[in-house]
Structures are given as structure tokens and as C-alpha cells.
Chain A
Amino acid sequence: MKMKLMTVAVAAMMAAGPALADLTIVDTSYRTGPYAANGIPFSDGYQDYFTLLNERDGGIGGEMVNIVECETGYNTEKGVECYEATKGEGALVYQPLSTGITYQLIPKATSDGIPLHTMGYGRTSAKNGAVFKYVFNYPANYWDGASLAVTHILDQNGGDVNGKKIALVYHNSAYGKEPIRTLEELAKKHGFELSLLPVDHPGQEQKSQWLQIRREKPDYVLMWGWGVMNQVAIQEAVNIRFPMENFIGIWWSGSENDVKAAGDKANGYKALTFHNLGSDYPVYADIQKHVVDAGKAAGAGDQVGTVLYNRGMYAAMLAAEAIKTAQEMHGTAAITSAQMRDGMENLEMTEAKMAGIGLPGFGPEFKVSCENHGGNGFGAVSQWDAAAGEFKLITEYFQSDQDVIMPLVEEDSSAFAAENGIEAGC
């Protein structure tokens, strides 16, 4: 009798527990706290894409994807806790969605043999795969962002910005300081005058910085902000009547959340991006049908097509394509995290592949290699159309200044390798 009861109990537990799928994806999300408004759409997009693959295609290569969500609250300690708590579940890849968490996880994940994908954030010099074997930051990084902004300004000025004044308003943290070195090099190369205006966390009070901008009258203002800092900066720019078309934010300062609070006067504000915008792609019809309408959306289903939802979905799509690559390379559907790393290192995103997925022209084409974990540094500029209530792409994808960036990547990654006794090589 006891044996029967135990069998029934075990069977019931197995039935009630989560499906023991072979492809485990951990979503380190933040749906609570001061940055929840940004964390929710990213996480929704990330999860919904994998749900789509499960519901429409029966998973990836016949293996279902098991999504494990862990709330970080955009807090570095909680992010590390999430990593430690979930890595034993067979996680294939982590997307920390925080530069602070990324810095903490780089040594841990490398030691555990689990790849990190820090798309458009994290440690920029991780682009050098010969040193950062388990860290990937394709398709673009902060230094690409700095260069893309300057290239756009060059384009606006007939290729000559000599004597122009460019101010950088940045979150006074490791994240915000990332572009400074690149911008300093670019200032030397192109002869513009760079001024730096740090804003302390969280950035609700920026009067000093914007009074300084009003006094010094820079020709362009670049912004590396996150959360409330973005909304306040855009409102202050409106208040001092700074021309919005000369105000360019990094991709983390370019979502609908950042501009809506300032109303119509934010019209014309620009932001960089490394993926396309809107929801006019075939894959969205599938997400609507198989995920949202089926009641399987990660959130309320009201974020589909927003900038950060698209970014989360794009990150998931790149992870799914890396899984497919790994499956083909190793001849098995149930891949391990080490095999996932191989898949990421051999990922090639072509237009034909994106069109086949239902996302034609959604992101730049790039190829990952052992030496280059960061892609080719292509990005585009988007602009806020207040009347339409959406960001619109106003340029084609163009490449960052690799002549400036690659030596900086080499220098920083070599220093990291020397500090940590890493023998670089492919």
C-alpha cells in the first residue's frame, strides 16, 4: 500500500511540475522596482518568442524550450543570486540585461562554462572572443554606439565636425562611462570638443546639467541614460528648448517610455538602435495567433511591437538561431551549454535567414567568430514621431568606426587577460 501511495505521489509530482525540457532558457527579468517599465516589455518579447517556437514549431529541432524566469529587480546582488539558483537547471545561456550583473557574471559563467549574451550592453571589450570565450555581445556594443552617433553627426554636417561642441549626458555608473574613451578618441580624430556631464543615480534631478548645456550651447547632446534619467533629461531638453533633432540617445535611451512623458515636444528626439522597429513583420502575426490570442503571453500582451519588446524578441531570436546552429554542428537536438557556446560562436545572421524566420530586414547581417564575439558594429538611427506615437528608422544600417574601436577592444581585453591570467587564443 505504502509503495502504491509513493508511486502515485511521485507520478503526481511529476505531472504537476514543469516539463523537463532539454533546452532551458533562463530569463533574468525585472518586472518590479524602478526599472520595471523597461524590464517588462523586454522580458515579454524574450519569452513570447520562445513560446511561439514551442507552440508553432514544437520547440527547436524537436526539443521544447523550458523558460525559467527569475526576478532581479535590476539589482546586481539579486541577479547573481538568480544565476546561482538557476544554473543547475541546465541553462544554455544567460542574458543578464544589466551591465552591473554582467560584470559579476563574467568570471562565474566562464568558470561554469555557460555563455552570456550581453546584446548592446555589458563589457564592451568582450567582443574579443580570444579572451572572453564565454561572453558574446553581438550585434553591437557601447563603443559601436558612440561611434554610430558621431558618424551620424558627421553625415549631418557634410563629414566635418571640426570645432563643433558635443556634450555627453551620462548615468554616473560603469554603464554610463563606457562610451567616454571612444568619444575621446573620436574627438581627437574629428576635432570636435567633448564635454562630459555625469548624472547621479537615479537621475530625477538634472537641473545643473541642463543649465550647463544651456550656457555652453553644445551643437549636439548624446545621452547614455536608463530609467527615469531618460524621461527627466528629455523633459529638461524640452524645457530649455534644445533642438530635439540634435539630441541623440543610446539604444537604452530610446523607447516609448522615455519620450511619452514629455508629450508632443519630444518630437524629433533621436535614438540609436541595432534592430528594426514596429510590428509590420510576419512573425508578429504568428505571435498574435499562437501566443497572445492563445492566452500564453508572458505579460498582458499589450507590449507587442514596442521598442523594448522588439529588443527582447530579437535577443530570443538570436538565441534560438544559435541553438539551431549548435544542433547542426553537434548533431544533437538536446545541446549542452558548451555546445550552445559553439553555436553562438558560429552564428551567422543573413538577410535570407531573417526573412525565413518572418523578420526580413529586422537586424543587421553579421557573422560571429572566435576572434569577434561582437558582430560588425552595424546600427541605425531612429527618430521619435510624436504624432504617430512611435520611433521610426531614419537611416539604413551603417557601420561604426572599426579603425578606432578595434584597437580599444584589443587594449582593454589584453589588460583583462593579463589581470586574470587568461591565455588568449582561438
Chain B
Amino acid sequence: MPEQLVFAMEVFLNGLMAGVLYALVALGFVLIYKASGIFNYAQGVMALFSALTLVGIMEGQVPFAHLINAIFGTEIHHFGWHVPALLAILFTMAVMVGLAWVVNKLIFRHLVNQEPIILFMATIGLAYFLEGFGDIMWGADIKKLDVGLPQGINTWIDESTFNIFDYGFFIDNLDIVATVVAALLVTALVIFAQYTKQGRAMRAVADDHQAALSVGISLNFIWVMVWSVAGFVALVAGIMWGTKSGVQFSLSLIALKALPVLMLGGFTSIPGAIVGGLIIGVGEKLFEFAIGPLVGGATENWFAYVLALIFLVFRPQGLFGEKIIERV
């Protein structure tokens, strides 16, 4: 087999894996948009905040330590204990549910039936607030996140492909874990949205707030529930990306990777986020591999958006998005 074809196969597989990581971020956007029609600008910051909280709890870090020390002249930083990863994830999830409740109570319940642009702007404010709040709460230093996920080259794939192609493929163990987690997450979310009472209520709220209210669906409950689930998805994304690069404030920028995925997959489809992620991941990696060297490289960021725009021309609602028809 030609060497370049073998390399392209490796790039293709890595593109799929990268796509899954993009999709994990995009899923949070989809959930909230699907339930409330809000494009949640704060989703990337939620991933950052959840990862910061997870590391803080695991390491026994005192929240707001710098603030407390500055006000009271104390020197406290750590409680002196370490919390196991699973327990810390549960505590973090509780914090994210609390955050969902506060966000709904203080912001979105006051904005029911407002224009989408108002809701969008509210999420921009939320993003900036949450970023600053996370900084004050946990500090701005880069934190190593180790919840026990494997990292580095998968030797089995390396050796197996070497036996076949005389060239071992590089696949990161962390990417394999992310793929399995994403598959489970999407399956669970699809089942939840399609087959449970709360899931159907969520879809009803998304279609028409007032109609949903008139049949007895609690808008507050549904919104808190959806923001909590989006918080959980943000936590999963935060764990995967935070394990790769350490937990730091640039984690919030991973939202940029989700936008072309959403444009391509549609804002309202959970499977669309996954398929969109895979197409973007594979597309950008193969383009960089084939065309990048000819144009000086660094094509991935812009190519992802170009690819999404091409799809938009033919399917404005995205591959799996709901077609919106407004009659005059």
C-alpha cells in the first residue's frame, strides 16, 4: 500500500477522535438550545468552571483562598485532604446543578419569552461573570488534572497496524476513552430526550414555552434540569480537554471548536453534534495533511468554518437540524 495512503488512514482515524472531542463541547450547546432556544455562549466557560471545581475539590483547595487571605490576613490554601476522583466528580456535579438553579433563578426566569438575542446576550454576561468567578474561587494557575484516564500511544493499535502496514498508527488512549464516553453519553441523552417524560417535556418547552406551561409543564424545572445536564456534559468535556492540557483559563476557548460542528450538525440534534464533530474532525485533519504543506499549514481553524459554511449553503438548518418554516 502506498506510504501516503497509510499516513492518510492514520490521519483519518485521528480526525475521528478529534471530532469526538469537538462534539463533546457541541453537545452542551445543543441541549440548551433544544430546550430553551438559547444559544449558550457560556458553554465553554462552563467546561472550564466545572474542571476548575473538580481539580479544586480533588486537591482539597480552599475556595476563594486568595480573597479570604487578602481580607483577613490569613494564610490558608488547602484543607489538607485529597478527594478520590469519582467522589469529586459527584461533588462537582452537585455544584453544576446548583449553578444551573442559580442561573435560572437569577437570570433566565426573568427573561421568559424575550427575544433570542436578549437571551444570547445574557449568556455572554454569564460567561464573563463565570470566568471571573472561577478565577476568584480557584485561582488562575494551571492545574494538572488526573482522574486516572490513560494517556499516550495505544501500543496494541501501534503494533497491530505495524504488522499490517509496516507503520504503526498513533492513536491516543485518551481519545479512545473520549470516544467511548461520548458514545455512552449520546446514547443516554437520546434515550432521555425521546423516551422519558422529562425528555418529552423538554422538547415541548423547546417548541413553545407558553403552550408547555398551559399543559402543566414546569418551565423552571425543565430549564434547571437542562442546564444541569449541560453542566454535566461541560464537566465531561472539561475532564477530557483538561487532561490533555491541564486545567487553565484557555479551556473556555474550546467553544470555538464547537461552532463549526453546530453549524454543520444542526443546533437541535444530539446525533447531529456527533456526526458534525466527526465530519469537521476528519475534514480538517485530512485537509491539513493533503493541502496544508502546500499553503504553509495552520489550515485547521479556518477550514472547519469553510466546511461548515459549504454545508450551510445547501442545508441552512444543518445536517440534522429542524427545518424552521415561518408562514406570513
Q: Which residues of A contact B (CB under 8 A)?
A: 31-37, 40, 172, 196-202, 204-205, 207-209, 211, 214-215, 227-228, 231-232, 235, 238-241, 257, 260-261, 263, 295, 300
When distances are taken between beta carbons in the complex, the residues of chain A under 8 Å from B14 are 207, 211
- In this assembly, does B201 line the interface, its C-beta being within 8 Å of a C-beta of chain A? no
Q: How far is the CA of A211 from the CA of B140 in the complex (A)?
A: 31
B298 interface contact, C-beta 8 A: yes
- A200 CA / B253 CA spacing, docked (Å): 12
Establish whether residues A235 and B153, one from each chain, have CB atoms under 8 Å apart when the complex forms.
no
- In the assembled complex, 16 residue pairs joining A and B whose CB atoms fall closer than 8 Å, in A order, are A31-B140, A37-B142, A172-B298, A196-B296, A197-B297, A200-B300, A202-B250, A204-B251, A205-B21, A205-B257, A211-B11, A228-B248, A228-B250, A231-B245, A240-B170, A261-B142
- Inter-chain contacts of A257 with B (CB < 8 A): 141-142
Which one of A201, A239, A261 contacts B153 once the chains associate, using CB atoms below 8 Å?
Answer: A239
Given A198-B296, A204-B253, decide whether A260 and B18 contact each other with a Cβ distance below 8 A: no
Residues on A with beta carbons closer than 8 Å to the beta carbon of B196:
none
Residue in B closest to A214 when the chains form the complex, CB atoms = B170
Label chain B's interface by main secondary structure.
helix
- For residue B249, CB closer than 8 A to chain A, the reply is yes
* Residue of chain A at shortest CB distance from B4: A215
Least CB separation from A215: chain B residue: B7
Question: At the interface with chain A, which of B95-103, B219-227, B285-293, B312-320?
Answer: B285-293
Are A239's CB and B298's CB within 8 A?
A: no
* Nearest-neighbor residue (CB-CB) of A31 within chain B: B140
Beyond the given A36-B135, A204-B251, please list 6 additional residue pairs across the A-B interface where CB-CB is below 8 A.
A34-B249, A40-B140, A208-B289, A211-B10, A260-B144, A261-B245
Report Cα–Cα, A231/B247, bound state, in Å: 10
Q: Given the complex of chains A and B, what is the CA–CA distance between A210 and B11 in angstroms?
A: 11
Taken residue by residue from 127 to 147, chain B's Cβ proximity to chain A (1 for < 8 Å, 0 otherwise) reads as 000011001000011101010
B103-144 residues at the A interface, CB under 8 angstroms: 131-132, 135, 140-142, 144
Closest to B256 in A: A202
Q: Please name all residues of chain A whose beta carbon is closer than 8 Å to the beta carbon of B298 when the two chains form the complex.
A: 172, 198-200
Q: Is B69 an interface residue (CB 8 A)?
A: yes
B247 to chain A: closest residue by CB: A261
What does the 1/0 interface line of B6-32 toward A look like (CB < 8 Å)?
010011001001100100000000000
Q: Please report the C-alpha to C-alpha distance between residue A240 and residue B246 in the assembled complex, in whole angstroms.
A: 18
Task: Answer yes or no: B172 CB below 8 A from chain A CBs.
Answer: yes
Partner of A239, one of B172, B251, B292: B172
List residues of chain A with CB within 8 A of the CB of B285: 207-208
| Nearest CB in chain A: distance from B69 CB, A | 7
Interface status of B200 (Cβ within 8 A of chain A): no
Q: Which residue of B lies closest to A201 (CB)?
A: B301
A66 to B162, CA, bound (A): 64
Q: Which residues of B contact A197 (CB under 8 A)?
A: 297
Q: In the bound complex, how far is the Cα of B76 from the Cα of A405, in angstroms? A: 50
With A211-B10, A211-B170, A215-B7: A37-B153 Cβ-Cβ less than 8 Å? no
* Count, chain B residues at interface, CB 8 A: 44
Cα A31 to Cα B131 in complex, Å, equals: 12
A263–B252 Cα gap in the complex (Å)? 23
Q: Is the CB of A231 within 8 A of B18?
A: no
Flag whether B160 is at the interface (Cβ < 8 A).
Answer: no
Residues of B within 8 A of A36 (CB): 135, 140, 249
A111 to B146, CA, bound (A): 51
Q: Which of B10, B18, B141, B251 contacts A205 (CB under 8 A)? A: B18
> Counting CB contacts under 8 A, is B152 at the interface?
yes
Q: CB of B148 within 8 A of chain A?
A: no
A162–B222 Cα distance when bound, in Å, is 67
Q: Which residues of B contact A37 (CB under 8 A)?
A: 140-142, 248-249
Q: How far is the CA of A36 from the CA of B250 in the complex (A)?
A: 9
CA distance A223 to B192 in the complex (A): 46
Instruction: Specify the chain B residue showing the minimal Cβ separation from A260.
Output: B144
Set of chain A residues within 8 Å of B289, measured between Cβ atoms: 208, 211
Note all chain B residues with C-beta closer than 8 A to A260: 142, 144, 246
- Residue-by-residue, is B157-180 near A (CB-CB < 8 Å gives 1, otherwise 0)? 000000000000010100000000
A209–B285 alpha-carbon span in the complex (Å): 10
How far does the alpha carbon of A257 sit from the alpha carbon of B146 in the complex, in Å?
16
B251 contacts across to A, CB distance below 8 A: 204
Cα–Cα distance between A36 and B134 once the two chains are bound (Å): 13
B80 within 8 A of A: no
CB < 8 Å: which of B10, B66, B172, B252 contacts A300? B66
Report whether A34 and B248 are in contact in the complex, using a CB–CB cutoff of 8 Å.
yes
Residues of A within 8 A of B17 (CB): 207
* B151 at interface, CB cutoff 8 A: yes
CB proximity of A204 to chain B, nearest CB, Å? 6
**Contact in complex: B246, A231 (CB < 8 Å):** yes
Selected from A205, A208, A238, A261, the residue in CB contact (under 8 A) with B292 is A208
Q: Is the CB of B250 within 8 A of A204?
A: yes
Say whether B73 faces chain A, with CB atoms less than 8 Å apart. Answer: yes
Identity of the chain B residue whose Cβ is nearest the Cβ of A199 in the assembled complex: B298
Tell me if B11 and A208 are in contact (CB < 8 A).
yes
Cβ of B254 under 8 Å from chain A:
yes
Q: Give the residue name and chain of the A residue nearest to B70 (CB).
A: A300
On chain B, the residues within 8 Å of A205 by CB distance are: 18, 21, 257, 300
Shortest distance from the beta carbon of A210 to any chain B beta carbon, whole Å: 8
A232: chain B residues at CB < 8 Å are 244-245
* Minimum C-beta distance from B11 to chain A (A): 6
Please give the distance in Å from B178's CB to the nearest CB on chain A.
12
Given that A34-B250, A36-B135 are known contacts, is A208 also in contact with B300, CB under 8 Å in the complex? yes
Residues on B with beta carbons closer than 8 Å to the beta carbon of A209 = 297
Q: List residues of B (253-271) whose CB comes within 8 Å of A's CBs.
A: 253-254, 257
Q: Give CA–CA (A259, B144) in the complex, Å.
A: 10
Q: Which residue of B lies closest to A205 (CB)?
A: B18
Task: Find the A residue at minimum CB distance from B285.
Answer: A208
Interface residues of B in 296-310 (CB under 8 A from A): 296-298, 300-301
In the bound assembly, the distance between CA atoms of A35 and B140 in angstroms comes to 9
B18 touches which of A34, A199, A207 (Cβ 8 Å):
A207
A295–B69 CA distance with the chains assembled, in angstroms: 11
CB distance from A346 to the nearest CB of B (A): 38
Cα(A258)–Cα(B246), bound, Å: 9
CA A214 – CA B7 in complex, angstroms?
11
CB distance from A422 to the nearest CB of B (A): 31
Say whether, besides A197-B297, A208-B285, A261-B144, A228 and B245 are in contact (CB < 8 Å). Answer: yes
What's the nearest-Cβ distance from chain B to residue A362, in Å? Answer: 25
> What residues on B are CB-neighbors of A295 within 8 Å?
73
Query: Which residues on B sit within 8 Å (CB–CB) of A204?
Result: 241, 244-245, 250-251, 253-254, 257
B22's closest neighbor in chain A, by CB? A205
